[in-house]
Structure 1
């Protein structure tokens, strides 16, 4: 019981002292008076013995507890001061974090703006690329159309030019069952009347003369056929000069004579080529067309 009463007194005194320390502080006499006052207020007289014992025990315990209260107050003050410092430090940290957050928010906002600008730029570039592709496609289609038209025009010109350059002929002497030509006392120009081909109409079957319509390289060929006993010789002439000849001779009448020859000539426009039968020679032709004269343009020359 004594201990409980003393503890209660000490607690009340501690609370009061703390309050007084907070309000302005008490000295030791005031603390002792306060303890005595509190002791008298909270412990009414019961018996003289009990009050005397309680007063003695309270004074003893209270006197022993005052230094502990001051120590607790100092420790509490130090703790409060430390907590205030921690609070100030924490407040500074929070302020710094807020500043960092504001800075980060500004950075994020700036980055978003840059992203929007970049997106706008990319969109614009895509539009430009699509426009360029459309322009290039239109230009390519136009060029292809021009090339196609030009190609068709060139092809038509080449066809026309090739038609002008399509020169070829082939003919034989006769279509009858059998015909002997020669011998004559002089050379004669043979007329190949049976015309197989006359592209470009450069060969005249009435005169037997081929006239070059273009400058170029021409191929000519003759075949000669006859019966034995008389020589069979014919020659290709260019502008009155003999170039090559086909010749054969057999002593017996029942023998057959065959010969051929050919030549490539460079002709100017208007040059003439024909075949002449030598004097004293004879050739034989029939529907078998043994004696022929042919020619064609290999390629034109400029």
Structure 2
């Protein structure tokens, strides 16, 4: 309790002195008188003995109960200085963190921009892929349609594939003719008969389709008898292959061809010319051939 009283007295005296200095200042005597006056107002008159005892007791209590205020201030100053250092370090750390945050923010912004560009690129690539896929689907559809058309055309053409070629004798050799009138020749040794439009028994070709056909005939023989044969369409002579030599045993060779427009069911065949003869053997010297150039509608 006495220690508290001592502290209060010291604080009151300190405040008074500071106030007087601020107001205009007092000299030491005035300060002493003021203090004495204050003591006289606050305390009843005492004897010198009691005042001395009280002063001694207060000094003892102040010495025993109050620590050194200067030491306390030094510790407080040291603490404040340390805290200021900590604050400076903390401020530097915060500043560094702010700079790191700014750099991180800039990096994040850059990454966002890169992501936007990448997203735009991916979107563009997806669009290109869709266009390519659509184009490929279109091409595949065209190819499929073309393939189907080709298959149908091939099937149609297969039905239109007509060709034949044959010679006179299947084996051996010898003369055919002469006859006093025209004689229909039968070419029995068949090389090709696509479409089976040629009949080797009758020697007649029957047109299965309307179209343009190419026909060709060749004759071979020996002089002095002439060798001659004609291609007929239905009952009409079209062309003739003819050869004649004066010297005996001279070889006779001749051929001729024609393109005919035939209707379905028209017939084409070869007739030996009257009083002529041909010779055939294993070399197949006399032939009759024909094929469809293109169909007509």
Q: TM-score, normalised by structure 1?
A: 0.56
Q: CA deviation at 1:201?
A: 1.3
CA distance in structure 2 between the partners assigned to 1:225 and 1:199 by the alignment: 26
CA distance in structure 1 between the partners assigned to 2:227 and 2:114 by the alignment: 97
CA distance in structure 1 between the partners assigned to 2:171 and 2:146 by the alignment: 50
SS at match of 1:229: coil
Q: Decide which moves more: 129-138 or 268-277.
A: 129-138
Q: Decide which moves more: 126-135 or 275-284.
A: 126-135
Q: CA deviation at 1:274?
A: 0.7
SS at match of 2:186: coil
Q: CA deviation at 1:277?
A: 0.8
Q: CA deviation at 1:125?
A: 5.9
CA distance in structure 2 between the partners assigned to 1:178 and 1:119 by the alignment: 93
Q: 2:81 corresponds to which residue?
A: none
CA distance in structure 2 between the partners assigned to 1:228 and 1:127 by the alignment: 90
Q: CA deviation at 1:122?
A: 7.2
Change in CA separation of 1:260 and 1:129 when aligned onto 2, cut-off 3 Å: same
2:145 is equivalent to residue 150 of structure 1: yes
Q: Which of 179, 182, 197 is the aligned partner of 1:184? A: 179
TM-align CA RMSD:
2.6
SS at match of 1:266: strand
Report how many aligned residue pairs link the two structures.
Answer: 188
CA distance in structure 2 between the partners assigned to 1:120 and 1:137 by the alignment: 25
Q: Which of 208, 219, 222 is the aligned partner of 2:217? A: 222
SS at match of 1:169: strand
2:272 is equivalent to residue 277 of structure 1: yes
Matches within 5 A, 1:194-233: 194-233=189-228
2:152 is equivalent to residue 162 of structure 1: no
Change in CA separation of 1:185 and 1:132 when aligned onto 2, cut-off 3 Å: same
1:87-109 Cα deviation digits (max 9, x unpaired)? xxxxxxxxxxxxxxxxxxxxxxx
Q: CA deviation at 1:238?
A: 0.6
For structure 2, which runs of at least 5 residues remain unmatched after alignment?
1-112
Q: Which of 157, 166, 174 is the aligned partner of 1:171? A: 166
SS at match of 1:270: coil
SS at match of 2:149: helix
SS at match of 2:155: helix
1:202-261 Cα deviation digits (max 9, x unpaired)? 111111111122222221111111121322211000111000001122344422221111
Q: 1:136 corresponds to which residue?
A: 131
